[in-house]
Structure 1
Amino acid sequence: MASRMGRRVERQLLWALARVAVVSLVALALLLVGARAEFGWVDSTRDFSIIAGALLLVTVVLAAAVVRSTLRHRLRPLQHVHKVIHLVMRGNYSRRVPIARADDFQPLTRAFNDLVDQLAAASETSQAVADIDRLMLSSAGLDPVIRKVLTSARMDGMEVALILRVAPPSERLTIFRLEKKQVKEEAVGLVEISDQSLDSVAGYQHLAEGLCDGELRECLPIAPESSVSGVLVATGRRPLTSAESKRLADLADRLAVAMTNIKRSESLYHQAHFDGLTGLINRRAFEDRLQECLARSWRGEEGAVLFIDLDHFKKVNDTEGHKAGDRLLVEISERLKTTLREVDTIARLGGDEFAVIITGMEEEKAVTRVCERIVAAIVKPIVVERLEHAVGASIGVALFPEDGQSVDELVMKADSAMYRAKESGGAGFAFFDDTLNAASRHRVLVESRLRKALEQRTLEMHFQPKLRLSDNSVTSCEALMRWTDAELGEVEPSTFVPVAEETNLIHEFTDVLVSKTADLLLQADRAGVHLDHVALNASARQLMSEGFASRFLGMLDQRNLPHHNVQIEVTESVFAGDTKTVVGELDTLRRAGVRIALDDFGTGYSSLNMLRELPLDVVKIDRSFVSELDSSEQGRILVRHLISIVDALGKEVVAEGVETEKQLQYLRDADCEYVQGFLISKAKPAADFIRLVADWRTGHNGTLLKLVT
C-alpha cells in the first residue's frame, strides 16, 4: 500500500513538472515571435541564448514552487502522523490523525489511528491492572477492586456487568453494574438460580442471559484458585473488537487474582486473631481489644474483664477423649454468645479458659448479673456423644480502670479472682480485691516467674542415682527438675509442677528435660562414665496431648540422643482417664526403643491385670511401702510379694525412697533389682553426679561403698 501511494505521488509530481515545462516552452515561443516582429529582437544567436536562459530559469523557479506546494499539500497527513507519534511517546493517546476524503494517505492514516486506539486501550488496561495491584497491596478489600474493574471495562455501546458469588460455597449471588459512575449491587434470589449449576461457566452464562439486557457478546470466568466464582459479561448490539475482548479478559484475570489474595489475607488474619475451634478471638486479639477499651476508659467508659475457667472439664477430656472435649468447648462458646451482648468481647485463651470484656457497665451490680447469667448458662447439662456432661464455670472479675490501667495488670487480677472463685467450690464468681488470700497471689506470682524462667532457660535438672544391687553399680539415674528463682528462692516441684499443668506450661518442660539429659550423657561420655539410661518424668497432661510421642522422639533425634538411653516414668494416675490414648502414646515410645516405667506403684489405680497389659519395662515400688520395712512385718511381706509378682511378669523392679541400711538389706534379701533414695544419694547437679559415679566405680567414695556392700 505504501509503494502504491508513493508511485501515485511520483506521477502527480511529474505531471506538475510537465505542465510547467509546456507552459514555459509555449511562453518562450510566443515571446520570441512577438519580439522579432515588433522590435526586431533576436537577430543573433547571442540574443536568443540570453532570452532562452532567462526563461529557463523562470521555468525552474516556477517548477520548484509548484513541486514544493504540491509536496506540502500531499504530505500533510504524514506531518500529522509525526505529531501524534510524539504525543504517544509521551503517553498521550488523545490525538488522532485527521482523514480527508481525497487523501492519498487515507489507508495509512486509518491504520495508524487504529494502532493508536489499540495502544490506548492497552495502556488503559495496564493502568487498571496496576491500580488493582495497588489496591491489593493496600488491603483495600474487594469493593474498590470491583469498582475499578467495572470502571475500566466501560465501552461505547456496551453494557458490562459482574455476576459474582463473593463467598463460595454460598449460593447467594450478586450482580454488579456501573450506573452514573456508581456501582450498583443487586442480589440474585435463590429461586432464580435454584436450577442452575454454579460449578461451570456454562451455568453462569445461562444465568447472565436471563439477567442482562441485550445480546451477550462476552462471558469471561472469574476463577480464584481455579474455582469458578462468577463471570464478567458484556452485552450490546455490536460485536467486541479484539482490543476490547483482551481488556475484559485481563480485567477478569486480575479480579480473580485479587479475590485469591484477599481470601488468603483474610485466612492469615483469621488464623492470627481467632481460635480455630470455637471461632472466638484468641489471646492476642483479646489483649488488643482490652488495650483499646483501656484507652477509652480515660474518657469515662468503664468496664470489666471476666476470666472464665471451666470446672470438671478435665474429667470430660480424660474420660471421653479430646474430640468430646472439643465439642463441649464449642457448645460453651455458643452459650456465651447467646448469654452476652453483641458489643461484648468473648475470647478463648486456650484449653478450657475463656475471657470476656464488658463495657458500658458502671455499677458492680450490673456485672454481677452478667456473671450470674454466665454461670447459670454453663452449668446446664451438655449432651456429647449421647452422654450428658455437667461442667461449671469459675469466674474472676477485674474492673477497669479501678483495678488496673494496663492489660497485664488486669489479666493478672482477673486470673487471681478466678482462682479464689474456684477455691470456693467453683460454679461461681469473685471480684478482685486487695484482700485476696496470700495463696492466690503467690500462685499468680509463681506462674509469672515460671514463664520467665522458661523463657530465660533457668530451670535446672538434678540427677539421682539408681543402684543395681546385683553388682553394686550405678549405671542409671532419674532426672528431677529444680528451680531456684531470684525472687521466690528455691521452689519445690510440688509447688510449681501443678501450676505448670494448670497453665499448660508443662508442655515446655519436655524440651528442658531432653536438652539437659543430652548434655548429661555427653559430659558423662567425656568423663569416661557409662550410663545405661536416664529416667524422665511425664505427666498425664503431656501424655494426653495429641502427638506427644512423635514430638518427644523428634526432640531426641534432634539432639542425637539414642532412644534406648531414655526412660519415661509415668504415675498410675495417667491411666485414670483416657487410657486408650495414653497407652497408644506409650506404645509408640516403647516401639521406638524408649523404656517405660510405672512410678509410685501401689498408690493409685493399677492392678495386676494392668501390669500385665500395659507397655511397661520397669515398675517402681512407692516409698510409702519402703518406709514400712523398718517397723512393719506386714509391710515387709507385702513388698516381698510385690517384688515377686513384678519379677514374674518379666519387668524390672526399683524400690524408691530407701533411707536406711535396714531397708537396703531387706530389699537385697528380697531380690529387688534396683534401689533409689537418700541413702544412696540425693539428686545432684550434672557435674556432681558424674563425679559421684566416677568415684563410686573407683572406690573413692568409701562411705557409700561400705553401705551397699
Structure 2
Amino acid sequence: MTFPQHIQPSQARILIVDDHPLVLSGLANILAGRGYIIETADCGLEAVRLLNTSLFDLVLLDLLLPDISGLEVMDYMHEHHMDVCVVVISGSANIDNAIGALHRGAFDFLRKTFPKEELLKTVDHALRQRWLAQDNQRLNQQLQASEKIHRYLLDSSPDIIYTLDEQGHLTYVNDRILPLLGWRAQELIGQHYTQLIHPSDLRRAEYALRQSTEKLQTTRNVELRMQSRHADSSMRLFSHELMRMTLPLKADDSPNTSPRWGTYGIAHDLTEHQRIDALVAHQAYHDILTGLPNRALFKDRLTLALLNAQRHHDMLAVMVLDIDRFKLVNDSLGHDLGDILLVEITHRLKAALRGSDTLSRLGGDEFTVLLTELTTSQDATQLANQCQACLRQPITLNNQVIHVSASLGIALYPEHGDTADELLKHADVAMYHQKANGKDGVVMFDTPMLQMGAEHMMLEHELHLALTHGELEMYYQPQVDAQTRQITGTEALMRWNHPLRGLLGAGEFLPLAEETGLIIPMTDWLLQAVCKDLKAFNQVGKQTLRMSINLPPQYLDRGNFVEKLQDVLRRHGLSAAQFEVEVTENICIRNPLNAIEQLHTLRRLGVRIAIDDFGTGYSSLSYLHKLPLDTLKIDRSFVMAIHADDSISPVVMAIISVAKGLNLHLVAEGVETETQLRTLAQAGCHTIQGFYFFKPMPKQALLLTLQKN
C-alpha cells in the first residue's frame, strides 16, 4: 500500500482487543511484521483505559468480551468523541451485531475465519481511508484559515473593495464601506451600483464600467463621487480602479457556455487628500500664524493690481509696516505671547483697512499692505495713519499692558516705481528711513533715501574693514571728584578713525555694529585695548584709576564674557577691582535671570557694576534692587536741563534719592557749567564727568593729564 508522504507505516498505532490470548498474540504478530505499533487489551474496560491514555489510529475490536461488549466500547468512544477507526472482528455470525457495529461507524466487519491477506488488506484500507480523511480535514482547515485571512485583509483595507456582475449589481463589498459612507455591506448586495454614485457622475461611471468590461485593457481609473449616509457630508470623492473579471458559471450553464465578464473595483477615498492638498496650497501662500497672505501671494496680487492700474491709469500704493522694538517685547514676554501679540496686531490692522486692501505678513514683525482705489497720495497717508493709530491703543496680554508703535514706509505707483519689486523695495527703504529717524511714524518714499541706504551698506562694509585695518581707537573721559578736583576714574569710549570721514564718535557706528553683530568682535578688541592702556595709566598715576567700560547686552548674553575678562586681566596683570562695567536698564528686559546671574558673577570677581543713562530706559525697581549695583549714572539729558541753582529737575532729585536709598555711588554725565556742577554737588552727587573738566581724549593725552593731576 502507498501511504501519504507525511505518514510512515511505523507511525500507525493499532489497539487489538480480544479475550482469547492465542487470537490476540496471533493478530499482534501479523501486524507487527508490517511495522505497526501494537498494543493489546483482553477486555473492554482495559480497552477503554488504553483509549483514554494513548492515541490510536485503528482498533481491532472483538464484540464478545468478558466484561462489556465491543458495541459498548464503541458507544463509549462515540460519547467521548474519540477519533479512531474501528474494524470489528468476531467469531459470531449474528447479523444484528454486524449491523450494530456498522451503525456505530465501524469501517469493516471481519469474521475470525478471515485469511491473513484479507486482514492485512482491510487494515491497510482502513488506515489509508483514515489518513486521507485527515488530510482532507487539514486542507479544509487551511482553506478556511486562508479565507478568514483573505476576508480580514479585505475588511481591513483602507479602500472600499467591491465586485459587480455583468448588469452592474453588487455581488460583494467589504466592510470598509460602513465607516466611509455609512452603508452596511449586507444591505448593498444585489443593489445596482447607481444607488451609490452621485447623479452628476453617473454618465462617467457608466462609460468607465463599459470600458473596463468590453476592452481588453487590464485596469481603468476614474474619479467618482459616492453618496454618503453620514450627516456631516452628502458625498465623498473616490478614485476607482476598475478591473475586468470572469464571472463563475451558473448551475444551469453548460461547459461550452461563453464566459461572462464582471468588474472588480477598488475605491480609494480622496476626501482627506483633497483636504490636505487644500491645506498645503493654503500654507504655501499664507502665513501660518496669522492666516494672512505671505510674500508670494502678496506679490502675485500686487502684480495683478499693477496690470489693472496700468490699464486704467489708476494710482496704488505699497506700504511696509514694521513693529518698533518688537524683539524687546518678544525677549521679555516670550515667543508664545509674542505670537499672540502678532495675531492681535493683525486683527487691528484688518479693522483699520478697507475691504479692497490686501494685508500681508512677510515674516517676523513686518507687514505689507496693498492699497488700491486711491485718488491722491493723501489717501495712502491717511490709511497709514489709521493703522498707526489703531496700534497705539494699549494691548493687554497675560495681565500685562503693552504699548506698541510702528514705523511705516509708503511707495506709490507710478511715482515711485512701476514693478512689484521696485515698489516693495522703495517702501522698505522708506520704512527703515523712519526707523533711523525716531521710529513711530509714517514716511513717503523719496529718491534721496536710496543714497542713504547705499551709504548705510557702505558704512557696514567699512566697519568690517576697520577691525582688520586697525582704525579703531580708545578715547577716555576722566571722572572727577567735585570737592578735591582729583581724577578718580575714567570711562572708555570707542572712536573710529575713518579714512575719509575722519574721527567718528560711538553714536555714529555702534548702533550699526549692534545691528550687524560686529559689536561682539569689537568688544573683544575693546577689552584688549583698555587693559593695555590701563596698565600704562597705573604706572604714572599716584592712585589706582578705576576704568569704566560700556558692556552691550548682546555681549553679556553670550555667556563667556566673565571668562574673557578673567583671561585678559591675568595676561596684563590687572586687578578686577579696577574695573567698572556699565550696563543700561534694558539689560534686565532681554533676559533678566541670565543678566542678574552674570552680573553677580562679575561682582564676585571684584568688578563694580554701574547703571548707565538711568531714568531714560524701561526702569524696573523690582529688578533694580536685585542687581549687584555700585553706581548710578545720571544721564546728560537731565543735567542739561539745569540752568540755575534752583532748576534741578524732580527726576534728578528722584534718581539721587534712589541712589541714597540703595547706598549707591552717583556719577553725573554731561556736566558743562559751574552752575550744573555746584547744583549737583549740593544735591549729593560728587563725581562729575563732562566737558566742564575734560573732553574725551586719546591715551597719550590722558597719560599727560594724569601726570599733571
Tell whether the structures are fold-level matches, with TM greater than 0.5: no
Between Structure 1 and Structure 2, the one with more helix by share is 1
TM-score after normalising by structure 2 = 0.43
Q: Which has the larger radius of gyration?
A: 2
Q: Which one scores higher on RCO, CA 8 angstroms, separation ≥ 6?
A: 1
Between Structure 1 and Structure 2, the one with more strand by share is 2
